[in-house]
Structure 1
Amino acid sequence: MPRLSVVVPIYNVERYLEECLDSIAAQTFGDFECVLVDDGSTDSSAAIAEAFVAKDPRFRLVQQENKGLGAARNTGWRHIGADTEYLTFVDSDDTLPPNAYQLMVGTLDETGSDFVTGNALRFNSEGYSPSGVHIKPFKETRLKTHITATPALVTDRTAWNKVYRRSFFDAAGVLYPEGILYEDAPVSVPLHFLAASVDVLSEPIYHWRVRETGEVSITQMTDPRSLVDRVRSIELVREWLLAHPEPEYRDYLRSYDANTLVEEIPKFFWLVADGDAAYRVAYQQHVTRLLQAIGTEHLTGLKGPLRIKYRLTLANRMRAFIAVHRLHRFYVAARRRLRGGGR
């Protein structure tokens, strides 16, 4: 039985799929099986997958009606070998450097941690660059650490830069939510808290594509549904934390809420200012619900501009919110120019 199971959900990625599968097949760690889950593709993705399965016995294909990325990952997990030691996920438009799994599995063999998580690069036709969301938690390699010892790991929410010890993943009982976008965090964050120890690698072990043509990826979406589902993803993590009565989980919740206020919700601000009316309505409704759940008393310690934006959100004063945000954005840009020697 292969030591590592790789799950690859597939949906309408004919433009990128072969490159993704080639990068998996080329891994210097070859003791793996790869379960491809065609989630009801309407393009030639299934045919590309079938051709790959025919030439490499380590790959096999499972097909289902379209149910979304979370459901496809769960289906793949249900179809992996019963005795595989490790589990990982790959998105079908991305790629991996050749030594990714050799490094990650080797690290787990050495440390005995519950999972290993690694840095990522973004890439397009022009080349590779650091992934902004991964810079802080992966600044340095830390073996046998934990989210409580390395708080920046609260932002390590992507599904695909990790190799899990299979026994740990199965025992946790935390599967991907189905029917929403941004399904990574409701699994990645709880597993960080449940782990006895985690290995963090500063070396990039994943290449995360920026789509330049065709349908954009989930993280590139700018419509109201993207906002609604992202807020719901945050709420699912909060619900999981609240469901645990142990005192330490109250501390975990406070840490998670603080990160949500400072880093997660502000990602919506630029589209509130520059987007359409439907996006603004969705923002005010769903972010207000989230802020009320977190507790408005937690806004007091935030920096002035951020605190003002949240107060205006709660008061449904979106015109004032947009004016404040644009002024703040201008001020930040001006300060950057001054630091760079501009006028």
Structure 2
Amino acid sequence: MVKVSVVIPVYNAEDFIEESLDCILNQTLDDLEVICVDDGSEDSSLEILNEIASRDSRVKVFHQENQGGGAARNNALRHVTGEYLYFMDADDRVETDAFDEFYALSTKHDLDFLIFKATNYAEDTGEYFETPYYNMDRIRDFARGKVFSFEDLGDLIFNISVTPWCKFYNTKFVLESGAQFLEGSIFHDNQFFWEVLFNAERMYFIDKSYYIRRRHSASSTGAGDLRYINIINVVNNIIKLFVKYDQIDRFRQILYNKKVLWITTRFFEIRDEFKDDFYRAMKDDFSSEGDDFIGCLDEKNRFLFNAVLSSKTARHFDLMCKNYDLKKENARLKNQKKLPNFLKYKLKKHVK
């Protein structure tokens, strides 16, 4: 048994796959295997993988017809032999000392998985930048060098990035959890994350960025195309997992607000030519919710929910939301004008 299995789904990544594999094969911990699943690439990705595998026996290459990243990762899970498991995207990089540190901490604390931060790299500008989503500051403030369980986290479960490449897993734990990636969806990470999290008893957070996420126009989750409609099914599957693990009563209010937020956010991000299709799917889904759902919503999400149901078209809904935001901003400015001068000064100083 090797110490670490690295899973990399590959689709049309000929420009990046060699660089990504280099940072894995040059890890200071070299007792590893790399399982690459080519997901029906139409470029030279498969040829590149086979050539690298011919030079390094640690690289194992599998091929499947195009089914998406979720299916590719599930396929790879059938072949892993490592004590620990790491998922990586084919266009990203990880620090070359990462696995040494991950393995040492995981064995020392007998972890189900550990969590760490990531840095973004903008392909178009060459800039590196951080985001709150991958910094997970609230988790850092809570964890501070301690082992914790799902039960310990409480509402903080919603502050962990769902991405698998920000985690280092115990392979036996993952396989016994039965967690699988959602196939046929660009948001396939979510189902795997929640299933694993609900089973986790020993987690650990490292306040350090090891992963470099490449952001470019070819990314499936940044494309803004019709696949964004998948988010409706994904969110409903997440709610079903909360029911499965008897967590729905504990988190119902947060979860129902998250549903409205997650779905409407993708509506505003999808390209204009697909908004009508998204709107119809969103309206059909919201129409199935009852009074118990609506009663859990805060002011903004209740407005969004009702606006979806009462509007006639995607354009109408969009305008309703813009009008709502404008009214809120005007009310904020009006209230600010009513403040005493010394409070206006404090507020202005704080904003700066």
Compared with structure 1, are the counterparts of its residues 201 and 291 closer, same or farther at alpha carbon in structure 2 (3 Å cutoff)? farther
Partner of residue 113 from structure 1, selected from 105, 111, 114: 111
Q: Choose 1 or 2 for highest CA Rg.
A: 2
Q: Which amino acid aligns with 1:40?
A: G
Distance 1:23 1:333 in 2: 47
TM-fit CA distance, 1:41 = 1.1
Q: Which amino acid aligns with 2:156?
A: A
Compared with structure 1, are the counterparts of its residues 230 and 269 closer, same or farther at alpha carbon in structure 2 (3 Å cutoff)? closer
Distance 1:329 1:340 in 2: 24
The aligned counterpart of 2:304 is 309
Q: Which amino acid aligns with 1:208?
A: R
Q: Which amino acid aligns with 1:323?
A: L
Q: Which amino acid aligns with 1:321?
A: F
Show CA shifts across 1:239-284 (max 9, x none).
223234x4x453245543343344x234225347xx4263234234
Which sections of structure 1, spanning at least 5 residues, go unmatched?
none
The aligned counterpart of 2:337 is none
Q: SS at the partner of 1:145?
A: coil
The aligned counterpart of 2:221 is 219
- Matched-pair identity in %: 25
Whether the aligned pair in 2 keeps the contact of 1:242 and 1:253 (CA below 8 Å) is no
Alignment partner of 1:233 is 2:234: yes
Compared with structure 1, are the counterparts of its residues 284 and 316 closer, same or farther at alpha carbon in structure 2 (3 Å cutoff)? farther
Distance 1:222 1:61 in 2: 30
TM-fit CA distance, 1:203 = 1.0
TM-score (norm 1): 0.85
The aligned counterpart of 1:131 is 131
After superposition, residues 187-226 of structure 1 pair within 5 angstroms as: 187-212=192-217, 216-226=218-228
Compared with structure 1, are the counterparts of its residues 147 and 11 closer, same or farther at alpha carbon in structure 2 (3 Å cutoff)? same
Distance 1:62 1:256 in 2: 38
Distance 1:317 1:66 in 2: 37
Which sections of structure 2, spanning at least 5 residues, go unmatched?
334-346
Compared with structure 1, are the counterparts of its residues 188 and 130 closer, same or farther at alpha carbon in structure 2 (3 Å cutoff)? same
After superposition, residues 168-317 of structure 1 pair within 5 angstroms as: 168-212=173-217, 216-226=218-228, 228-244=229-245, 246=246, 248-262=247-261, 264-271=262-269, 275-276=271-272, 278-286=274-282, 288-290=284-286, 292-293=288-289, 295-300=290-295, 302-317=297-312
After the TM superposition, list the runs of 4 or more consecutive aligned residues in structure 1 that deviate by more than 6 angstroms.
331-336
- Counting helix residues as a fraction of each chain, which structure ranks higher? 2
Distance 2:38 2:285 in 1: 36
The aligned counterpart of 2:55 is 55
Show CA shifts across 1:301-321 (max 9, x none).
645343212211122344453
Compared with structure 1, are the counterparts of its residues 112 and 65 closer, same or farther at alpha carbon in structure 2 (3 Å cutoff)? same
Alignment partner of 1:326 is 2:322: yes
Show CA shifts across 1:101-139 (max 9, x none).
222222211211211121111112422111342234554
Compared with structure 1, are the counterparts of its residues 301 and 170 closer, same or farther at alpha carbon in structure 2 (3 Å cutoff)? closer
Alignment partner of 1:70 is 2:75: no
TM-score (norm 2): 0.83
TM-fit CA distance, 1:339 = 5.3
Alignment partner of 1:164 is 2:159: no
Q: Which amino acid aligns with 1:278?
A: F
Q: Which amino acid aligns with 2:50?
A: E
